[in-house]
Structure 1
Amino acid sequence: MPKYRIVEFAKSQVQAGLFSINRICCLCGISKTTFYACQNPDSRFEAKYERLRAKIVKIIRGNSASGVGRIKSALWEDCQIHVGRDALGRLLKLWGLQLRRKNKKSKLSIIQKILIFLADRTNILIRSIITAPFQAITSDISEIYYNNGRQKAYLAIHKDILGQIVYGWQLAENMEVSLVIGSLEKAKKNIRKLLGKIPKKMLCHQDQGSQYTSYEYADVALKSNLVLSYSTPGTPTENPGQESFFGRLKEECQDEMSEIRNFKELYKFIKNKIKYYNCRRLHTSLNNQAPLKFTQQFIKNLSLSESKKRFSFFRG
């Protein structure tokens, strides 16, 4: 997701009085400088072509079935105005003027029907106050292009909301359920390594994609006593931390990934990048610590606190 979308979401939460600027920046994985300076590039793009809106609307009214190609041709024939196909398509989408096409709807699963019935109540995360690591993890899937954009893989991750550490990840050449289950299983394994157990009622938040609403994924999560939370359909800003992670990965590594020639090399590359992110990437929201160090320090403090409680109990 573009960074400005994350900033827009963050600002809306601050304006609604739900979070302070520092808190929402921490949750979204952005700096305060980005919060104040980042702007929506679509606004500038629309302003550049605003003079064409009335002409395009007139063309569409003359033929409601006009697509990008016909509108492009009509602009040239009637007004001698040349607009690139991609730019025109983007304008139509921004202005809500694109041709509506009927798509066959797939059959909903029982889990999806339940989520639709519950509506906004499925998003437990947005109603929760996260104050420490191991309270909530989020998951998402993103496309990863390599070999000069000719090949594509899919990366799924499970990441701690506050501690930022990537507990689990999986890379595959398809988007089957095994992709997200593999990531979740790795996350469970690493959480147990760090903490010794999976905390009770730990939130696991994701979108309502078919992989995450499958029986298999829900079964693996619920058997581990994880509490499932889902974003409202069509609202990617409800999972901003994940979008920020993928955005940075692609922004910083796209040139390197373009040079990778096969899936095996890509897998090794992603593995090294996530290891670097967990062990060495410093975060201002974590007091300039890497996610792993921050999490280990939290566990150390937690252990000391529990030891003091036990000592006080025995002394009493």
Structure 2
Amino acid sequence: MFGNLDAGGAVHKYATIKQVAGEYTISELCKLFRVSRSGYYAYLKRQVTDRNKPVKDFIQAVYRKYDGKYGYRQTQLFLLQDCGVWVNHKKVLRLMQEMGLRSRIRRKYRSHYVSSVGRRVAENALQRDFKACAPNQKWVTDITQYRVADTWLYLSAIKDLFNNEIVAYHMGVRNDNELVLRTFEKAFEKTKDVTGLIVHSDQGFQYTSYAYHDMLPKVGAQISMSRRGNCYDNASMESFFSHLKTEGLYPYDIRSVDEAQRRIEEYIQFYNQSRPQRRLKKLTPVEFRRQLSA
């Protein structure tokens, strides 16, 4: 009848007890849910005198709108963007804890060793400096994979470090040079002049290929690469992929490659146009870029 009695935190349990209090005694319910009677009555008192209820309602609305994906810091930004309400991040954390609201935990990426024997490797020109003062100064790029049944879907993406915008991406079921080259074709179709641009990647075989090393210098771009097996040298790109999977893929029961592609396309559009970022002065990547030209 009550489902998982340990789910949702103390506040959720108190709310359930209040809902069925007419059918059972308070002592029986508190014992069943393993909470104290004093805690329950304190909860009822807060319900009457809770000055934070309007803010909690906003937090609850944001939490539900985004399927419980976000922690207190990103929730704070969505409160401002979606509700026009600015709340101190410490208060957002405290209220979310009171309401038993928790974000989904992102999976951590792992370091892998990659040999450079017989490969064209460039120096690390980026040196983990993931900031740029203008568009098209620094791009980071990488490939990630997502499994659908017995098929792997590969996503190649390019991110501009000026505003963290995904400037181009390409998907396919084959992880080959064409996947990367097509991604850069799309990027160069939108950005004609990339003279002086630094393009940073890991040492994957696509990025050490002759085709890749011939392509970028021709348009005036400089190639930069992470050290062998060091994912932190490209942490900005890894961070985007982590957000993509945790927020745009893992919450859903995806059964086909077409659906996975649709989810990825929708998330990239959401990430660029609707997801505010603290580093961008609480603006979305597109808003931040447009502010520059305003």
TM-score normalised by L of structure 1: 0.53
d(CA) in 2 for partners of 1:218, 1:296: 32
Task: Provide the C-alpha distance between the structure 1 equivalents of 2:167 and 2:253, rounded to a whole number of angstroms.
Answer: 26
Separation (CA, whole Å) in 1 of partners of 2:224 and 2:250? 35
- The corresponding residue for 1:108 is 118
Alignment partners' CA distance in 2, 1:183 and 1:286: 25
**Equivalent residue of 1:154, what SS?**
strand
Deviation at 1:257, TM superposition (A): 5.0
Q: Residues 11-90 of structure 1: matches in 2 within 5 Å?
A: none
Cα deviation, 1:28-75, whole Å, max 9, x if unaligned, reads xxxxx9xxxxxxxxxxxxxxxxxxxxxxxxxxxxxxxxxxxxxxxxxx
Q: 1:100-139 to 2 correspondence within 5 Å?
A: 108-109=118-119, 111-112=120-121, 115=122, 122-126=123-127, 130-139=132-141
Q: CA shift at 1:253, angstroms?
A: 2.5
For the 8 Å contact 2:249–2:263, the answer to whether it is kept is: no
2:77 equivalent in structure 1: none
Per-residue deviation, 1:146: 2.7
Q: CA deviation at 1:250?
A: 1.0
2:281 to 279, 287, 307: 287
Q: Distance in 2 between matches of 1:108 and 1:257?
A: 41
**Within 5 A, what are the aligned runs for 1:226-237?**
226-237=221-232
Task: Return the letter of the residue paired with 2:237.
Answer: Q
CA contact (8 A) 1:145 1:257 kept: no
Q: Specify the alignment match of 1:157 in structure 2.
A: 157
C-alpha distance in 2, partners of 1:286/1:229? 24
Q: 1:251 aligns with which of 246, 249, 256?
A: 246
1:156-193 Cα deviation digits (max 9, x unpaired):
10101131000110111111001111111112222x2x
Equivalent in the alignment of 2:235? 240
Alpha-carbon distance in 1 for matches of 2:126, 2:144: 21
CA drift at 1:272 = 1.7
Contact 1:167/1:188 (<8 A) preserved: no
Aligned equivalent of 1:203: 198
- The 1:280/1:153 distance shift into structure 2, 3 A limit, reads same
2 CA distance for matches of 1:279 and 1:209? 30
**1:132 Cα deviation from its structure 2 partner:** 2.8
Shift of residue 208 of structure 1? Answer: 1.0
Q: 2:182 aligns to what?
A: 182
Q: Are residues 213 and 106 of structure 1, via their aligned partners in 2, closer, same or farther at CA, if it must alter by over 3 Å?
A: closer
Q: CA deviation at 1:213?
A: 1.0
1:106–1:164: structure 2 CA closer, same or farther, 3 Å change rule?
closer
By how many angstroms is 1:222 displaced? Answer: 1.6
Cα gap change, 1:155 to 1:189, in 2 (>3 Å) = same
1:197-237 Cα deviation digits (max 9, x unpaired): 32321110001111011111222222211111111111110
CA contact (8 A) 1:140 1:156 kept: yes
Describe the SS at the equivalent of 1:166. strand
Tell me which residue corresponds to 2:4.
none
Aligned equivalents of 2:174, 2:251: Cα separation in 1: 22
Mapped partners of 2:132, 2:175: distance in 1: 30
Percent identity, please.
Answer: 29
User: When you count helix as a share of all residues, which structure comes out higher?
Assistant: 1
Deviation at 1:260, TM superposition (A): 3.2
Q: Give the drift of 1:127.
A: 7.6
- What CA distance in whole angstroms lies between the structure 1 residues aligned with 2:252 and 2:181? 25
- Residue type at the aligned position of 2:118: L
Segments of 5+ residues of structure 2 without an aligned counterpart are: 1-88, 90-114
**How far does residue 133 in structure 1 lie from its aligned partner after superposition?**
2.6
Aligned to 1:95: none
Alignment correspondent of 1:143 = 145
Residue identity opposite 1:260 in structure 2:
R
Contact 1:166 1:278 (C-alpha < 8 Å) held by counterparts: yes
Shift of 1:144: 1.3
* Secondary structure in 2 matching 1:211: coil
Task: Say whether the 8 Å CA contact 2:244–2:264 is kept in structure 1.
Answer: no
Distance 1:145 1:174 in 2: 12
Q: Which amino acid aligns with 1:203?
A: I
Give me the whole-angstrom Cα distance separating, in 2, the residues matched to 1:187 and 1:226: 13
Structure 1 counterpart of 2:215? 220
